[in-house]
Amino acid sequence: MKLQEKEVASTASSTTTWTEPIGTTVTPPTSVNPKNLVCFSHLRWNFVYQRPQHLLSRASKEWQVWFLEEPVFKEGPIRLEKHEIQSQLCVLVPCMPHGLKPEEVIAQQKRLIDEFIASEGISSYVAWYYTPMALAFSPEVAPELTVYDCMDELSAFLGAPRQLIDLEQRLIEQADVVFTGGHSLYEAKRDKHAHTYAFPSSIDFLHFSQSRKPQPDPDDQRQFAHPRIGFCGVIDERFDIELVRELAQRRPDWQFIFLGPVVKINPASLPKAPNVHYLGMKSYQEIPRYFAHWDAAILPFAICPATRYISPTKTPEYLASGLPVVSTPIHDVIRNYGSRNWVHIADTAERFEAALEQALTDKGMTHRKEVDTFLNENSWDRVWNEMAGLMKLHAQPA
Protein backbone atom coordinates (compact mmCIF):
# COMPACT_ATOMS: atom_id res chain seq x y z
CA MET A 1 0.00 0.00 0.00
CA LYS A 2 1.30 3.46 -0.84
CA LEU A 3 0.82 6.35 1.52
CA GLN A 4 0.23 9.89 0.43
CA GLU A 5 -1.40 12.79 2.20
CA LYS A 6 -5.05 11.97 2.50
CA GLU A 7 -7.95 13.63 4.25
CA VAL A 8 -10.14 10.89 5.60
CA ALA A 9 -12.02 13.12 8.01
CA SER A 10 -14.18 14.24 5.12
CA THR A 11 -15.56 10.73 4.73
CA ALA A 12 -17.51 8.54 7.10
CA SER A 13 -14.75 5.94 7.20
CA SER A 14 -12.18 7.64 9.44
CA THR A 15 -11.09 10.89 11.03
CA THR A 16 -7.37 10.18 10.68
CA THR A 17 -5.10 12.22 8.43
CA TRP A 18 -1.89 10.47 7.38
CA THR A 19 0.96 12.48 5.91
CA GLU A 20 3.87 10.63 4.40
CA PRO A 21 6.04 11.10 1.30
CA ILE A 22 4.43 9.58 -1.76
CA GLY A 23 5.99 6.25 -2.57
CA THR A 24 6.68 5.14 1.00
CA THR A 25 5.71 1.52 1.52
CA VAL A 26 3.84 0.84 4.73
CA THR A 27 5.05 -2.52 5.96
CA PRO A 28 5.68 -2.14 9.70
CA PRO A 29 8.77 -4.10 10.79
CA THR A 30 7.86 -6.70 13.38
CA SER A 31 11.35 -7.01 14.87
CA VAL A 32 11.21 -3.65 16.67
CA ASN A 33 9.29 -4.13 19.88
CA PRO A 34 10.62 -2.34 22.99
CA LYS A 35 9.19 -3.82 26.16
CA ASN A 36 8.67 -0.48 27.90
CA LEU A 37 6.87 2.77 27.14
CA VAL A 38 7.70 5.77 29.32
CA CYS A 39 5.15 8.59 29.10
CA PHE A 40 5.95 12.12 30.25
CA SER A 41 2.66 13.86 31.05
CA HIS A 42 1.50 17.26 32.28
CA LEU A 43 -1.86 15.65 33.17
CA ARG A 44 -2.47 13.32 36.08
CA TRP A 45 -3.82 9.87 35.44
CA ASN A 46 -6.64 10.30 37.96
CA PHE A 47 -7.72 13.62 36.47
CA VAL A 48 -10.33 13.74 33.69
CA TYR A 49 -10.29 10.48 31.71
CA GLN A 50 -9.29 11.54 28.22
CA ARG A 51 -6.84 10.97 25.38
CA PRO A 52 -3.79 9.81 27.40
CA GLN A 53 -5.81 7.28 29.37
CA HIS A 54 -7.59 5.91 26.30
CA LEU A 55 -4.37 5.46 24.32
CA LEU A 56 -2.00 4.27 27.01
CA SER A 57 -4.46 1.76 28.46
CA ARG A 58 -4.43 0.18 25.02
CA ALA A 59 -0.65 0.49 24.76
CA SER A 60 -0.33 -1.51 27.99
CA LYS A 61 -1.64 -4.59 26.19
CA GLU A 62 1.65 -4.67 24.27
CA TRP A 63 4.11 -2.80 26.50
CA GLN A 64 4.81 -2.11 30.13
CA VAL A 65 3.65 1.50 30.39
CA TRP A 66 5.21 3.86 32.92
CA PHE A 67 3.17 7.08 33.21
CA LEU A 68 5.36 9.79 34.75
CA GLU A 69 3.40 12.68 36.26
CA GLU A 70 4.57 16.11 37.36
CA PRO A 71 5.90 16.34 40.94
CA VAL A 72 3.72 16.66 44.01
CA PHE A 73 5.09 18.64 46.93
CA LYS A 74 4.62 17.19 50.40
CA GLU A 75 6.52 16.22 53.50
CA GLY A 76 8.93 13.33 53.50
CA PRO A 77 12.03 12.29 51.56
CA ILE A 78 12.45 12.92 47.86
CA ARG A 79 11.19 9.78 46.18
CA LEU A 80 9.38 8.31 43.19
CA GLU A 81 6.07 6.73 44.18
CA LYS A 82 4.62 3.92 42.08
CA HIS A 83 0.89 3.33 41.74
CA GLU A 84 -0.20 0.30 39.77
CA ILE A 85 -3.33 1.06 37.74
CA GLN A 86 -3.66 -2.28 36.00
CA SER A 87 -1.43 -5.04 34.70
CA GLN A 88 1.43 -3.46 32.76
CA LEU A 89 0.39 0.13 33.57
CA CYS A 90 1.97 2.01 36.45
CA VAL A 91 1.83 5.70 37.41
CA LEU A 92 5.06 7.27 38.69
CA VAL A 93 4.83 10.36 40.90
CA PRO A 94 7.91 12.35 41.98
CA CYS A 95 7.42 13.50 45.57
CA MET A 96 9.44 16.46 46.86
CA PRO A 97 9.41 18.84 49.80
CA HIS A 98 8.15 22.40 49.48
CA GLY A 99 10.67 25.18 48.95
CA LEU A 100 12.90 23.68 46.26
CA LYS A 101 14.13 26.05 43.57
CA PRO A 102 12.95 25.32 39.99
CA GLU A 103 16.40 24.11 38.94
CA GLU A 104 16.49 21.79 41.98
CA VAL A 105 13.11 20.32 41.04
CA ILE A 106 14.38 19.58 37.54
CA ALA A 107 17.61 18.07 38.85
CA GLN A 108 15.71 15.82 41.27
CA GLN A 109 13.28 14.70 38.57
CA LYS A 110 16.21 13.75 36.35
CA ARG A 111 17.90 11.86 39.18
CA LEU A 112 14.70 9.98 40.03
CA ILE A 113 13.94 8.93 36.46
CA ASP A 114 17.54 7.90 35.78
CA GLU A 115 17.61 5.81 38.96
CA PHE A 116 14.26 4.29 38.04
CA ILE A 117 15.41 3.36 34.52
CA ALA A 118 18.52 1.73 36.00
CA SER A 119 16.65 -0.11 38.77
CA GLU A 120 14.14 -1.59 36.30
CA GLY A 121 16.90 -2.60 33.89
CA ILE A 122 15.26 -0.67 31.05
CA SER A 123 17.57 -0.60 28.04
CA SER A 124 15.00 -0.35 25.27
CA TYR A 125 11.87 1.77 25.46
CA VAL A 126 9.49 4.13 23.70
CA ALA A 127 9.55 7.71 25.00
CA TRP A 128 6.05 9.19 24.70
CA TYR A 129 5.74 12.92 25.41
CA TYR A 130 2.65 14.97 26.18
CA THR A 131 4.68 17.88 27.53
CA PRO A 132 7.83 19.35 25.99
CA MET A 133 8.80 20.56 29.48
CA ALA A 134 9.93 17.01 30.26
CA LEU A 135 12.91 17.40 27.94
CA ALA A 136 14.66 19.15 30.83
CA PHE A 137 14.89 15.87 32.76
CA SER A 138 14.68 13.16 30.10
CA PRO A 139 16.53 9.92 30.92
CA GLU A 140 20.19 9.37 30.09
CA VAL A 141 19.28 6.14 28.29
CA ALA A 142 18.25 7.03 24.74
CA PRO A 143 14.86 5.70 23.64
CA GLU A 144 14.42 3.41 20.67
CA LEU A 145 11.55 5.59 19.51
CA THR A 146 10.40 9.09 20.51
CA VAL A 147 6.74 10.02 20.08
CA TYR A 148 5.27 13.48 20.59
CA ASP A 149 1.52 13.18 21.00
CA CYS A 150 0.55 16.84 20.76
CA MET A 151 -2.98 16.90 22.14
CA ASP A 152 -3.18 20.68 22.73
CA GLU A 153 -1.39 23.91 21.85
CA LEU A 154 -0.08 24.23 25.39
CA SER A 155 1.67 27.53 24.74
CA ALA A 156 -1.76 29.19 24.34
CA PHE A 157 -2.97 28.09 27.78
CA LEU A 158 -3.15 30.30 30.84
CA GLY A 159 0.12 30.22 32.79
CA ALA A 160 2.15 28.46 30.09
CA PRO A 161 5.92 28.55 30.86
CA ARG A 162 7.90 30.98 28.73
CA GLN A 163 10.34 28.29 27.57
CA LEU A 164 7.58 25.99 26.31
CA ILE A 165 7.77 27.08 22.67
CA ASP A 166 11.54 26.54 22.46
CA LEU A 167 11.31 23.17 24.20
CA GLU A 168 8.53 22.07 21.86
CA GLN A 169 10.71 22.89 18.87
CA ARG A 170 13.49 20.76 20.38
CA LEU A 171 11.05 17.92 21.01
CA ILE A 172 9.76 18.02 17.45
CA GLU A 173 13.36 17.86 16.19
CA GLN A 174 14.08 14.84 18.40
CA ALA A 175 10.82 12.99 17.73
CA ASP A 176 10.61 10.12 15.28
CA VAL A 177 6.88 10.66 14.85
CA VAL A 178 4.42 13.43 15.81
CA PHE A 179 0.74 12.77 16.44
CA THR A 180 -1.73 15.62 16.83
CA GLY A 181 -5.05 15.64 18.66
CA GLY A 182 -6.95 17.27 15.82
CA HIS A 183 -6.82 18.65 12.30
CA SER A 184 -6.15 22.25 13.31
CA LEU A 185 -3.12 21.14 15.32
CA TYR A 186 -2.01 18.99 12.40
CA GLU A 187 -2.12 21.97 10.07
CA ALA A 188 -0.06 23.99 12.58
CA LYS A 189 2.61 21.27 13.05
CA ARG A 190 2.82 19.42 9.73
CA ASP A 191 5.50 21.66 8.23
CA LYS A 192 7.71 21.19 11.30
CA HIS A 193 8.13 17.41 11.01
CA ALA A 194 8.08 15.07 8.03
CA HIS A 195 6.17 12.37 9.90
CA THR A 196 3.18 14.21 11.36
CA TYR A 197 -0.21 12.52 11.60
CA ALA A 198 -3.62 13.79 12.75
CA PHE A 199 -5.58 11.62 15.15
CA PRO A 200 -8.62 13.62 16.33
CA SER A 201 -10.69 12.76 19.37
CA SER A 202 -12.21 9.31 19.08
CA ILE A 203 -14.82 7.36 20.98
CA ASP A 204 -15.49 4.34 23.15
CA PHE A 205 -18.90 3.86 21.55
CA LEU A 206 -20.10 0.96 23.68
CA HIS A 207 -19.35 2.85 26.87
CA PHE A 208 -21.25 6.02 25.97
CA SER A 209 -24.09 4.36 24.10
CA GLN A 210 -25.12 2.98 27.51
CA SER A 211 -26.72 6.42 28.00
CA ARG A 212 -29.50 5.40 25.61
CA LYS A 213 -30.73 2.68 27.94
CA PRO A 214 -33.20 3.27 30.82
CA GLN A 215 -31.34 3.65 34.11
CA PRO A 216 -31.65 5.45 37.45
CA ASP A 217 -31.03 9.17 37.55
CA PRO A 218 -28.00 9.98 39.77
CA ASP A 219 -28.94 11.24 43.22
CA ASP A 220 -27.38 14.69 42.83
CA GLN A 221 -29.17 15.30 39.53
CA ARG A 222 -32.55 13.76 40.24
CA GLN A 223 -34.21 16.88 41.64
CA PHE A 224 -33.67 19.01 38.53
CA ALA A 225 -36.54 19.66 36.13
CA HIS A 226 -36.41 19.24 32.38
CA PRO A 227 -35.24 20.23 29.87
CA ARG A 228 -31.69 19.66 31.06
CA ILE A 229 -28.78 21.13 29.12
CA GLY A 230 -25.44 19.54 30.08
CA PHE A 231 -21.71 20.09 29.76
CA CYS A 232 -19.02 17.64 30.85
CA GLY A 233 -15.35 18.55 30.92
CA VAL A 234 -12.71 20.76 32.48
CA ILE A 235 -14.03 24.21 33.34
CA ASP A 236 -11.13 26.60 32.79
CA GLU A 237 -10.15 29.69 30.82
CA ARG A 238 -11.63 28.14 27.68
CA PHE A 239 -15.13 28.18 29.20
CA ASP A 240 -17.32 31.02 27.86
CA ILE A 241 -18.63 32.35 31.17
CA GLU A 242 -20.64 35.19 29.69
CA LEU A 243 -22.34 32.95 27.13
CA VAL A 244 -23.50 30.57 29.86
CA ARG A 245 -24.57 33.44 32.09
CA GLU A 246 -26.70 34.98 29.33
CA LEU A 247 -28.24 31.65 28.32
CA ALA A 248 -29.25 30.95 31.92
CA GLN A 249 -30.82 34.39 32.17
CA ARG A 250 -32.64 34.11 28.85
CA ARG A 251 -34.07 30.68 29.65
CA PRO A 252 -34.79 30.28 33.37
CA ASP A 253 -36.98 27.28 32.45
CA TRP A 254 -33.91 25.36 31.25
CA GLN A 255 -31.65 23.60 33.75
CA PHE A 256 -27.91 23.90 32.98
CA ILE A 257 -25.83 21.08 34.48
CA PHE A 258 -22.02 21.12 34.55
CA LEU A 259 -19.85 18.10 35.32
CA GLY A 260 -16.12 18.52 35.77
CA PRO A 261 -13.41 20.22 37.79
CA VAL A 262 -12.87 23.98 37.90
CA VAL A 263 -9.18 24.76 37.31
CA LYS A 264 -7.04 27.86 36.76
CA ILE A 265 -10.02 30.22 37.16
CA ASN A 266 -11.80 31.57 40.21
CA PRO A 267 -14.97 29.52 40.86
CA ALA A 268 -16.61 32.71 42.11
CA SER A 269 -16.47 34.08 38.55
CA LEU A 270 -18.78 31.35 37.23
CA PRO A 271 -22.47 32.10 36.57
CA LYS A 272 -24.70 31.61 39.59
CA ALA A 273 -28.44 31.16 39.14
CA PRO A 274 -31.22 28.84 40.37
CA ASN A 275 -31.07 26.98 37.03
CA VAL A 276 -27.26 26.57 36.93
CA HIS A 277 -25.84 23.51 38.72
CA TYR A 278 -22.17 22.51 39.21
CA LEU A 279 -21.97 18.86 40.22
CA GLY A 280 -18.18 18.48 40.21
CA MET A 281 -16.00 15.84 38.61
CA LYS A 282 -17.46 12.39 37.95
CA SER A 283 -15.66 9.16 37.18
CA TYR A 284 -15.53 7.89 33.62
CA GLN A 285 -17.78 5.01 34.60
CA GLU A 286 -20.44 7.32 36.07
CA ILE A 287 -20.76 9.74 33.17
CA PRO A 288 -23.18 7.73 30.95
CA ARG A 289 -25.72 7.70 33.81
CA TYR A 290 -25.74 11.50 33.85
CA PHE A 291 -25.93 11.79 30.07
CA ALA A 292 -28.87 9.37 30.04
CA HIS A 293 -31.03 12.00 31.74
CA TRP A 294 -29.98 15.07 29.76
CA ASP A 295 -32.02 16.50 26.91
CA ALA A 296 -29.14 18.20 25.07
CA ALA A 297 -25.42 18.79 25.46
CA ILE A 298 -23.33 21.88 24.85
CA LEU A 299 -19.76 22.88 24.08
CA PRO A 300 -19.71 26.47 25.37
CA PHE A 301 -16.11 27.29 24.52
CA ALA A 302 -14.87 30.84 24.23
CA ILE A 303 -13.30 31.75 20.90
CA CYS A 304 -9.74 32.57 21.99
CA PRO A 305 -6.14 31.41 21.44
CA ALA A 306 -6.59 28.56 23.95
CA THR A 307 -9.41 27.05 21.86
CA ARG A 308 -7.97 27.67 18.39
CA TYR A 309 -6.62 24.12 18.08
CA ILE A 310 -8.84 22.02 20.35
CA SER A 311 -10.68 18.91 19.21
CA PRO A 312 -13.06 18.29 22.12
CA THR A 313 -13.28 14.64 23.16
CA LYS A 314 -16.79 15.29 24.43
CA THR A 315 -18.19 15.88 20.93
CA PRO A 316 -18.22 12.20 19.88
CA GLU A 317 -19.07 11.16 23.44
CA TYR A 318 -22.21 13.31 23.44
CA LEU A 319 -23.20 11.97 20.03
CA ALA A 320 -22.61 8.35 21.05
CA SER A 321 -24.90 9.01 24.01
CA GLY A 322 -27.65 9.99 21.60
CA LEU A 323 -27.69 13.63 22.66
CA PRO A 324 -28.25 16.58 20.34
CA VAL A 325 -25.26 18.93 20.56
CA VAL A 326 -24.78 22.69 20.25
CA SER A 327 -21.29 24.19 20.07
CA THR A 328 -19.63 27.52 19.63
CA PRO A 329 -17.69 27.74 16.30
CA ILE A 330 -14.64 25.63 17.20
CA HIS A 331 -12.72 24.81 14.00
CA ASP A 332 -12.41 21.06 14.50
CA VAL A 333 -16.01 20.70 15.68
CA ILE A 334 -17.21 22.47 12.54
CA ARG A 335 -14.94 20.43 10.32
CA ASN A 336 -15.78 16.98 11.68
CA TYR A 337 -19.38 17.44 12.80
CA GLY A 338 -20.89 20.85 12.08
CA SER A 339 -20.24 20.61 8.36
CA ARG A 340 -22.38 17.44 8.33
CA ASN A 341 -25.13 19.08 10.39
CA TRP A 342 -24.55 16.58 13.19
CA VAL A 343 -23.76 19.40 15.64
CA HIS A 344 -25.50 22.77 15.75
CA ILE A 345 -23.07 25.71 15.59
CA ALA A 346 -23.88 29.10 17.14
CA ASP A 347 -21.73 32.17 17.76
CA THR A 348 -23.96 34.35 19.97
CA ALA A 349 -26.20 33.74 22.96
CA GLU A 350 -29.28 34.49 20.86
CA ARG A 351 -28.27 31.98 18.17
CA PHE A 352 -27.19 29.47 20.79
CA GLU A 353 -30.63 29.66 22.37
CA ALA A 354 -32.31 29.16 18.99
CA ALA A 355 -30.01 26.21 18.21
CA LEU A 356 -30.84 24.62 21.55
CA GLU A 357 -34.55 24.99 20.90
CA GLN A 358 -34.07 23.20 17.58
CA ALA A 359 -31.87 20.55 19.21
CA LEU A 360 -34.46 19.87 21.91
CA THR A 361 -37.06 19.34 19.22
CA ASP A 362 -34.83 17.09 17.14
CA LYS A 363 -33.49 15.17 20.20
CA GLY A 364 -30.54 13.92 18.14
CA MET A 365 -32.61 11.60 15.98
CA THR A 366 -32.24 13.22 12.53
CA HIS A 367 -28.84 11.76 11.69
CA ARG A 368 -28.68 8.97 14.28
CA LYS A 369 -27.88 6.07 11.92
CA GLU A 370 -25.31 8.05 9.94
CA VAL A 371 -23.62 9.35 13.07
CA ASP A 372 -23.52 5.91 14.69
CA THR A 373 -21.82 4.43 11.64
CA PHE A 374 -19.20 7.17 11.71
CA LEU A 375 -18.55 6.79 15.43
CA ASN A 376 -18.29 3.01 15.30
CA GLU A 377 -15.66 3.33 12.58
CA ASN A 378 -13.63 5.85 14.58
CA SER A 379 -12.94 4.13 17.86
CA TRP A 380 -9.97 4.56 20.19
CA ASP A 381 -9.09 0.95 19.31
CA ARG A 382 -8.72 1.88 15.68
CA VAL A 383 -6.70 5.01 16.50
CA TRP A 384 -4.33 3.07 18.72
CA ASN A 385 -3.84 0.31 16.14
CA GLU A 386 -2.96 2.89 13.48
CA MET A 387 -0.61 4.71 15.84
CA ALA A 388 1.13 1.46 16.79
CA GLY A 389 1.65 0.61 13.13
CA LEU A 390 3.22 4.02 12.48
CA MET A 391 5.44 3.68 15.53
CA LYS A 392 6.79 0.37 14.28
CA LEU A 393 7.31 1.88 10.85
CA HIS A 394 9.43 4.74 12.20
CA ALA A 395 11.28 2.95 14.99
CA GLN A 396 15.06 2.90 14.75
CA PRO A 397 16.50 -0.40 16.03
CA ALA A 398 19.34 0.10 18.47
pLDDT computed for residue 372 by the predictor: 96
pLDDT computed for residue 362 by the predictor: 85
- CB contact at 8 A, 270 and 235: yes
Cα 201 to Cα 219: distance, rounded to the nearest angstrom? 30
Sequence-ordered list of residues with C-beta below 8 angstroms from that of 254, at least 6 positions apart, any chain:
227, 228, 229, 247, 248, 275, 356
**In this predicted model, what pLDDT tens digit does every residue of 310-326 receive, in sequence order?**
999 999 999 999 999 99
**In this predicted model, what pLDDT tens digit does every residue of 56-94 receive, in sequence order?**
999 999 999 999 999 999 999 999 999 999 999 999 999
pLDDT computed for residue 397 by the predictor: 57
pLDDT computed for residue 157 by the predictor: 62
**Which of 86, 91, 138 has the alpha carbon at shortest distance from 112?**
138
pLDDT computed for residue 33 by the predictor: 58
DSSP 328: -
Sequence-ordered list of residues with C-beta below 8 angstroms from that of 222, at least 6 positions apart, any chain:
none
pLDDT computed for residue 103 by the predictor: 95
Q: Tens-of-pLDDT digits for all 398 residues of the chain? A: 323 333 333 333 333 333 332 223 333 334 445 799 999 999 999 999 999 999 999 999 999 999 999 999 999 999 999 999 999 999 999 999 999 999 999 999 999 999 999 999 999 999 999 999 999 999 989 999 999 999 988 766 666 677 888 899 999 999 999 999 999 999 999 999 999 999 998 999 999 999 999 999 999 999 999 999 999 999 999 999 999 999 999 999 999 999 999 998 999 999 999 999 999 999 999 999 999 999 999 999 999 988 999 999 999 999 999 999 999 999 999 999 999 999 999 999 999 999 999 999 987 788 899 999 999 999 999 999 999 999 999 886 54
* Count, residues in the chain: 398
pLDDT computed for residue 396 by the predictor: 64
Radius of gyration over every alpha carbon of the chain, rounded to an integer in angstroms = 22
- Residue 266 burial class via C-beta count within 10 angstroms: exposed 0-12, middle 13-18, buried 19 and up: exposed
- CB contact at 8 A, 244 and 271: yes
- CB contact at 8 A, 233 and 257: no
**Residue type at position 392:** K
**Which of 51, 319, 55 has the alpha carbon at shortest distance from 185?**
51
DSSP 277: E
**Which of 4, 36, 30 has the alpha carbon at shortest distance from 17?**
4
For 365, other C-beta atoms within 10 Å of its C-beta total: 10
pLDDT computed for residue 14 by the predictor: 34
